[in-house]
Amino acid sequence: MAAPGEAVATAGEDRSAMQVRLAMATAVGQAVHQVVDQPRVLDDPIAVPLAGLSPDLLRSFGDSEPRHRAGRLYVASRSRFRDELIGAAARRGVRQAVLIFPGLTTFAYRRPDSELTVFEVDNAAVQTFKRERLGVVGVATGPGVRFVELEPDGKLRAAALADQGFDRTKPCVVACVGALHFTSPTFVADTVRAVAELSVAVDFVGDFFDRPDPAAPERENLHGLTAALGFPPRSFFTVAEMNAELTAAGFEILANLTATQVCARYGASGPELDRNLANLHLFHATTTSGMTRDVR
Ligand SMILES: C[S@@+](CC[C@H](N)C(=O)[O-])C[C@H]1O[C@@H](n2cnc3c(N)ncnc32)[C@H](O)[C@@H]1O
């Protein structure tokens, strides 16, 4: 049985390969978004080369099931939401962004902001693969990006970030999108607490699945899609349950949006989004009162 926070590998596949496959599947979806969806939610000039597939092949993927379209529009929308949040924090003077489980996310490479240091926290195999792909397409990582490997037990530890230059006495913005639901409820709770204690002031954006409507067909649901791809979600929270985890950890909730609301912010809507994204939520929370928080 997988330990908390561990990926569930399909038969014959090791966990690292499975996580690379998931990161790559998400990246291909974002490359398809660049060439198929109009108007685009997110302009990402690195997405297509990073995926390594021809625009014609990417276009051919665009004709697939409606839930694929819903999935890529949501991933693009949550990425844009995260990017804007980090951008706003940077304008307020925040200089540290931590991306937990970024996979092949291109944020740090699309916005080589000399004043912002981006800490990418992920599994070693995903990071190795990402660095190889970035190298192949000629995207430099530079000093503004620091790769932090997860501990062998999968846990996030401030010490590992500090080793890469993270300053716990300074505010930070933390994003963990598209990943918490692949981990156990205990792991989610531990991660929320660890994030709250990362530094004196933490702005946190994340997303999660609520329990699916038992009457809704599995095919018409994003969690059904991730399961079909070999990645069944392992934790479900109601909004009230997630709010309770966040507030218990010291966060104040600033926003709670449904996935369709996130998409609508950027002009993406439609019945297939309403159906397929029904039980997906995104939160934005902060420990700003923690400006006086003691760093343990
Ligand atoms: C769906 S991708 C999302 C990537 C990125 N955050 C985004 O929004 O595009 C999930 C990422 O979570 C990471 N991950 C960590 N633990 C995982 C687990 N137990 N199961 C699946 N993925 C896991 C993988 O490395 C993968 O890159």
- What is the residue extent of each domain of the chain? 15-292
Over residues 7-20, the mean pLDDT reads 66
Residue 289 has what pLDDT? 56
Ligand 1 atom nearest to 75, measured from its CA: 8
Residue 156 has what pLDDT? 84
The Cα–Cα gap between 267 and 23 comes to 26
Q: Give percent of the chain with pLDDT exceeding 90.
A: 70
Q: Ligand 1: distance of its center to the CA of 293 in Å? A: 30
Residue 8 has what pLDDT? 43
Q: Give the closest residue (by CA) to ligand 1 atom 10.
A: 179
Architecture of the domain whose range is 15-292? 3-Layer(aba) Sandwich (3.40)
| Mutate which of 20, 98, 101 for ligand 1 pocket (most atoms within 8 A of beta carbon) | 101
Centre a 10 Å sphere on the Cβ of residue 36 and count the other Cβ atoms it contains.
Answer: 19
CB of 29 within 8 A of CB of 6?
no
Q: Is the pLDDT of residue 49 over 70?
A: yes
What type of residue sits at position 31? Answer: A
Residue 230 has what pLDDT? 81
Residue 251 has what pLDDT? 97
* Lowest-confidence segment of 152-156, 176-180, 213-217, 292-296 by average pLDDT: 292-296
Residue 220 has what pLDDT? 65
Q: Ligand 1: distance of its center to the CA of 74 in Å? A: 15
pTM: 0.92
Residue 67 has what pLDDT? 85
Token digits of residue 131: 């660095």
Q: How far is CA 130 from CA 27, 85, 161, 261, 268, in A?
A: 11, 24, 19, 30, 28
139 pLDDT band, cuts 50/70/90, is very high
Residue 100 has what pLDDT? 96
Secondary structure class of 166 (helix, strand, coil): coil
Over residues 218-246, the mean pLDDT reads 85
In sequence order, what are the residues at sequence separation of 6 or more whose Cβ sits closer than 8 angstroms to the Cβ of residue 144?
108, 112, 113, 114, 116, 117, 118
The Cα–Cα gap between 58 and 29 comes to 9
Over residues 191-207, the mean pLDDT reads 96
Q: Ligand 1: distance of its center to the CA of 294 in Å? A: 31
What type of residue sits at position 261? Answer: Q
Q: How far is CA 174 from CA 67, 102, 203, in A?
A: 28, 11, 6
Q: For residues 70 and 217, which has the higher predicted lDDT (pLDDT)? A: 70
Pocket-forming residues, ligand 1, beta carbon under 6 Å: 5-7, 19, 22-23, 26, 75, 79, 101-103, 105, 122-123, 126, 177-179, 182-183, 231
**Residue 126: CA count within 13 A, CB half-sphere:** 26
Q: For residues 295 and 130, which has the higher predicted lDDT (pLDDT)? A: 130
Centre a 10 Å sphere on the Cβ of residue 55 and count the other Cβ atoms it contains.
Answer: 13
Secondary structure class of 55 (helix, strand, coil): helix
Residue 225 has what pLDDT? 77
5 pLDDT band, cuts 50/70/90, is very low
Q: Ligand 1: distance of its center to the CA of 21 in Å? A: 10
Three-point CA angle 118, 123, 184, nearest 5°: 105
| Mutate which of 41, 182, 191, 207 for ligand 1 pocket (most atoms within 8 A of beta carbon) | 182
The Cα–Cα gap between 101 and 122 comes to 5
